[in-house]
């Protein structure tokens, strides 16, 4: 059903109904003016700051920031990457227990926890980190897991557009009591390059929209949560609707990730493996070996991209 070329959606940029904030243009937005004067900016959730670490020395050469939820997975990815490229892997550079940060040459591996609130904190501090470090041309990639919508478990979905839980391609923030909508744009060339590489590496891939839910259970229409005031047929009608809208997977961070990286002017992509096909169930029950194999797929794909782009 889901052939590689089958779901190559045309890229579109919609700014309709978007409330713009001061300083925002379509895409690259001016940095916070107050940041320029803060000589002692402390990145609280990383546990270090401008005054406590030589950020340009440690992070100035960064070209890729790879992120995803789990701290253990990101330690493992950093170690795998170091081994594959025959380069050293740093110790955990984070001085806080909120997030881990590993560095392998020009690639940073940072976990973001679960859901957009946690991701947004990590991402803002990572953007400030890259700014203070004077790192240039940094690409951000989210490597994650997700629930598939009409795709086989183990399929890697490279996202075209991120869609929120109200099914529009916007990231919604509430600021000063106002609902602000911003575009969720990802880099089209990066997406196409990832799809090409997946085909070359025989990694099962589809490309389509990703729905970003606000929770794992009711927000994703699961029938296995503690609460459930809808019927099985409602769940399937919703999944069907998602499928017909071009959604191929559901996770919990894509809108914020796409929006923040786009606003900051960084190229970005989202590459998530599906752990199950939600058309066939809700419980995530995979043997350990299979899970490791699935987790490895986004890593193998993104590593191939990084090695190609950086010639390492
Ligand atoms: O990147 P990961 O695999 O942590 O992200 C997905 C989305 C949620 O944060 C989490 C739910 O299990 O997995
Ligand atoms: O079904 C799933 C699996 C992983 N992550 C999600 O958010 N949903």
Q: Is 298 in the pocket of ligand 1 (CB under 6 A)?
A: no
Three-class SS of 223-243: CCCCCCCCCHHHHHHHHHHHH
Output phi, psi for 268, to 5 deg: -150, 160
From the CA of 146, give the closest atom in ligand 1: 6
Q: For strands 268-277 and 156-163, give the pairing.
A: antiparallel
Beta bridge partners of 250: 147, 211
Binding residues for substrate: 220, 222
Residue 22: is its pLDDT beyond 60?
no
* Tens of pLDDT, residues 221-262: 999 999 999 999 999 999 999 999 999 999 999 999 999 999
The mean pLDDT value of the chain amounts to 92
Distance, in Å, from the CA atom of 266 to the CA atom of 130, rounded to the nearest integer, reads 11
User: Residue whose CA is closest, atom 1 of ligand 1?
Assistant: 144
Q: Is 221 in the pocket of ligand 2 (CB under 6 A)?
A: no
From the CA of 282, give the closest atom in ligand 2: 1
**Joined tokens for residue 16:** 């309709």
Q: Is 154 in the pocket of ligand 1 (CB under 6 A)?
A: no
Residue 25: what pLDDT? 42
**Average pLDDT of span 50-70:** 97
Distance, in Å, from the CA atom of 249 to the CA atom of 274, rounded to the nearest integer, reads 7
Distance, in Å, from the CA atom of 213 to the CA atom of 297, rounded to the nearest integer, reads 23
Q: Is the ipTM of this complex over 0.95?
A: yes
Residue 23: is its pLDDT beyond 80?
no
**Average pLDDT of span 87-107:** 98
**Average pLDDT of span 195-218:** 98
Residue 55: what pLDDT? 97
Higher pLDDT, 31 or 63: 63
Higher pLDDT, 12 or 21: 21
pTM: 0.92
Pocket probe mutation, ligand 2, options 147, 153, 280, max atoms within 8 Å of Cβ: 147
Pocket probe mutation, ligand 1, options 112, 117, 119, 146, max atoms within 8 Å of Cβ: 146
Q: Is 268 in the pocket of ligand 2 (CB under 6 A)?
A: no
Higher pLDDT, 11 or 196: 196
Confidence category of residue 27, pLDDT binned at 50, 70, 90: low
Ligand that comes closest to the CA of residue 281: 2
Distance, in Å, from the CA atom of 186 to the CA atom of 199, rounded to the nearest integer, reads 20
**Average pLDDT of span 195-216:** 98
Residue 3: what pLDDT? 35
Q: Is 220 in the pocket of ligand 2 (CB under 6 A)?
A: yes
Q: Is 207 in the pocket of ligand 1 (CB under 6 A)?
A: no
Ligand that comes closest to the CA of residue 72: 1
Residue 94: is its pLDDT beyond 80?
yes
């Amino acid at each position: 059903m889901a052939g590689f070329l089958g779901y190559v959606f045309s890229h579109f940029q919609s700014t309709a109904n978007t409330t713009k904030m001061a300083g925002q243009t379509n895409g690259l937005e001016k940095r916070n003016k107050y940041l320029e004067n803060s000589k002692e900016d402390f990145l609280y959730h990383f546990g270090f700051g401008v005054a406590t670490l030589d950020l340009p020395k440690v992070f100035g050469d960064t070209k890729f920031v790879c992120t995803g939820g789990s701290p253990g997975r990101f330690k493992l990815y950093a170690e795998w990457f170091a081994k594959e490229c025959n380069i050293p892997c740093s110790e955990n550079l984070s001085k806080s227990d909120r997030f881990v940060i590993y560095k392998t040459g020009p690639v940073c591996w940072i976990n973001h926890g679960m859901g957009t609130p946690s991701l947004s904190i990590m991402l803002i501090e990572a953007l400030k980190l890259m700014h203070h470090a004077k790192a240039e041309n940094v690409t951000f990639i989210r490597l994650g897991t997700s629930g598939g919508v009409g795709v086989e478990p183990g399929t890697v979905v490279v996202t075209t557009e991120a869609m929120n839980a109200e099914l529009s391609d916007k990231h919604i923030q509430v600021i000063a009591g106002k609902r602000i909508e911003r575009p969720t744009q990802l880099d089209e060339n990066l997406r196409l390059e990832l799809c090409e590489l997946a085909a070359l590496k025989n990694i099962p891939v589809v490309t389509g929209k990703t729905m970003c839910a606000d929770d794992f259970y009711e927000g994703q229409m699961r029938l296995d949560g503690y609460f459930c005031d809808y019927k099985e047929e409602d769940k399937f009608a919703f999944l069907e609707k998602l499928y017909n809208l071009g959604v191929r997977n559901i996770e919990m961070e894509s809108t914020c990730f796409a929006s923040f990286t786009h606003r900051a002017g960084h190229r970005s992509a989202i590459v998530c493996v599906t752990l199950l096909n939600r058309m066939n169930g809700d419980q995530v029950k995979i043997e350990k070996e299979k899970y490791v194999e699935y987790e490895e797929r986004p890593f193998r794909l993104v590593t191939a991209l990084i090695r190609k782009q950086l010639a390492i």
